[in-house]
Chain A
């Protein structure tokens, strides 16, 4: 399946791009992150990172669908 991946803040710098379309075998958001971390060596899993799918906050165990846009948020720090 094809999914769109977007990176923010620290993750964008670690991935070296702000977004990419990837052909992928399917699975959960966590598995997609692992696959992207294998592709971009600087991209590291972080405690408290968040994920959103199609602009809705989601969970790492959510299974992805074709054409989903997956947003990887490093630990947030507003305020």
Chain B
């Protein structure tokens, strides 16, 4: 499976092994981790909601696009769902290629597209006790600041 959603911890070593190939001289791995702060607020834990039927279909398309656009051999992406704690791996992208340039570019393409196209949402639970949906990735790309809209 090139793209998958997991409700259990991601096995990083297994993900890397899945793209291993003696034809490849480069492996690029991106891991997205749960950090303890966002927008100046202290984060305690984070919850991912995923709409799997569309996320899995679109995720597979993104991987196929990367394999077509860049000279890479293998690529995969795994995204977590459910409640995650600080330091947990929320997403991993692994790309192997004959040479490093294409592997870096494809890895960047996959994570950027995944963040902007897949029906995945995160709710941050703050140390202060409140929680909010985070949905600023594309808002920021669209060029407007937080002052223009409210995230509740």
Contact = CB atoms under 8 A, between A and B. Distances in A.
Contact of A77 (B51, B57, B120): B120
A41 interface: no
B16 to A, nearest CB: 19
Contacts of B117: 50, 57, 76
A75 B149 CA distance: 12
B49 A76 contact: no
B11 interface: no
Given A9-B123, A74-B121, A74-B135, A79 B90 contact: yes
A76 B133 contact: no
Contacts of A10: 121, 133, 135, 151-152
B39 to A, nearest CB: 12
Interface stretch (B19-27, B63-71, B101-109, B137-145): B137-145
Interface string A1-13: 0000000111001
B152 A78 contact: no
B144 A74 contact: no
A76 B120 contact: yes
Contacts of B79: 78-79
Contact of B139 (A9, A48, A57, A71): A48
A48 B138 CA distance: 6
Contact of A9 (B49, B91, B116, B149): B49
Interface of B: 32, 48-51, 53-54, 57-58, 79, 90-91, 111, 114-123, 133-139, 141-142, 144, 149, 151-152
Interface of A: 8-10, 13-14, 46-48, 50, 52, 55-57, 71, 73-79
